[in-house]
């Protein structure tokens, strides 16, 4: 167990003096102070007051694999579920491992030191604040069938969040979750395999739950988190279970039937539909009106009398 995690567990119980904290975790006061500073740098707010000692300024809930599995209806589909303290990224770690022969492997982390979004963009990953979740599984039918996978994941996550009471969550093509026009989360699909044979995919989901103010200052786009959308503080363990319960059956259905069963569900969540968009491509910027997605997952954009099909691999799209 990480030394920083040990400290958080003790701090979650209430204020504690430096001496008592050092005894509880079996370290010197100097070592404890260094770990406290590491937690602060990772976004955990910890006060230190004379006569009171160290105290968390807001409650912190740590992820626990047993609690997540106990809340899941789809736990039987999970080949393994692991919670790590700190990783470069959950996707990178699962890509280093073999995909399970059966079922789905699930990996979560309390912190990512190299969290990645689409096209290698940095993903802010403070300690024990948000959800950083990746799954690994095999798919039949080859790599060509995986083109719409990020859309399927977006549908499953958005539907789960709406069912949990977070109204207004939608999907922005090809891999973003939005609420109120601001980014709530993102999806990153990576993998490999044979063109026509078995393929493996690692699917990463980053979801803003309670973003610390210090980390929020580094984000260069409009963003939101679940704490801003709901009245009650969301439990990350319950959220992880809800997302997995929605995601795992969706992946099974996609493996069996492809994107077709998700087209109408996507349309109900599509935040770009009917909006003016700018397509940023190799030929420069082009403007049009978003018109849903095609059967292959391509974004349809009306440009004058023509309809352009835009694929995730060649452009980025931002609402005008």
* DSSP character at residue 235: P
Closest-CA residue to 194 (of 260, 139, 250): 139
Closest-CA residue to 293 (of 118, 135, 149): 149
Where is the binding site, in residues? 89-91, 112, 116-118, 183
- C-alpha 194/C-alpha 171 separation (Å) is 29
DSSP-assigned states of every residue in 66-82: HHHHHH-S-GGGEEEEE
The token duo for 10 is 């003790």
Closest-CA residue to 298 (of 315, 282, 286): 315
* DSSP character at residue 260: G
> What CA–CA distances, in Å, run from 318 to 220, 281, 296, 301, 305?
14, 12, 20, 12, 21
Kindly list the catalytic residues.
Answer: 118, 183, 318
229 contacts: CB under 8 Å, gap ≥ 6:
166, 168, 169, 179, 180, 184
The token duo for 152 is 């399927």
- C-alpha 153/C-alpha 144 separation (Å) is 17
Determine contact, residues 237/61, Cβ cutoff 8 Å: yes
Closest-CA residue to 75 (of 240, 191, 300): 240
Where is the binding site for biotin, in residues? 89-91, 112, 116-118, 183
Determine contact, residues 105/136, Cβ cutoff 8 Å: yes
Helix (H, G, I), strand (E, B) or coil at 269: coil
- In total, the chain counts a number of residues equal to 320
């Amino acid at each position: 167990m990480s030394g920083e995690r040990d400290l958080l567990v003790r701090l979650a119980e209430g204020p504690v003096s430096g001496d008592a904290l050092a005894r509880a975790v079996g370290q010197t006061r100097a070592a404890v102070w260094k770990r406290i500073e590491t937690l602060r740098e990772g976004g955990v707010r910890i006060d230190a007051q004379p006569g009171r000692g160290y105290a968390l300024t807001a409650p912190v809930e740590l992820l626990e694999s047993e609690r997540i599995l106990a809340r899941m209806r789809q736990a039987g589909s999970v080949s393994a579920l692991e919670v790590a303290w700190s990783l470069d990224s959950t996707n990178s770690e699962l890509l280093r491992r073999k995909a399970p022969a059966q079922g789905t492997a699930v990996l979560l982390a309390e912190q990512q030191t190299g969290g990645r979004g689409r096209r290698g963009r940095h993903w802010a990953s403070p300690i024990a604040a948000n959800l950083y979740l990746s799954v690994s599984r095999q798919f039949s039918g080859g790599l060509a069938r995986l083109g719409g996978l990020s859309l399927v994941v977006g549908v499953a996550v958005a539907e789960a969040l709406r069912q949990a009471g977070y109204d207004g969550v939608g999907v922005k093509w090809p891999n973003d979750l939005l609420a109120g026009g601001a980014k709530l989360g993102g999806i990153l699909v990576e993998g490999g395999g044979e063109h026509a044979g078995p393929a493996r995919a690692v699917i990463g989901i980053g979801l803003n739950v309670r973003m610390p103010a210090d980390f929020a200052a580094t984000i260069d786009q409009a963003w939101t988190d679940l704490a801003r959308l709901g009245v009650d503080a969301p439990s990350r363990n319950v959220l992880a279970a809800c997302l997995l319960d929605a995601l795992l059956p969706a992946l099974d259905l996609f493996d069996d039937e492809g994107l077709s069963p998700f087209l109408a569900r996507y349309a109900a969540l599509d935040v770009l539909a009917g909006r003016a968009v700018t397509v940023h491509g190799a030929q420069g910027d082009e403007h049009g009106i978003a018109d849903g997605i095609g059967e292959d997952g391509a974004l349809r954009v009306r440009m004058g009398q023509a309809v352009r099909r835009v694929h995730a691999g060649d452009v980025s799209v931002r609402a005008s």
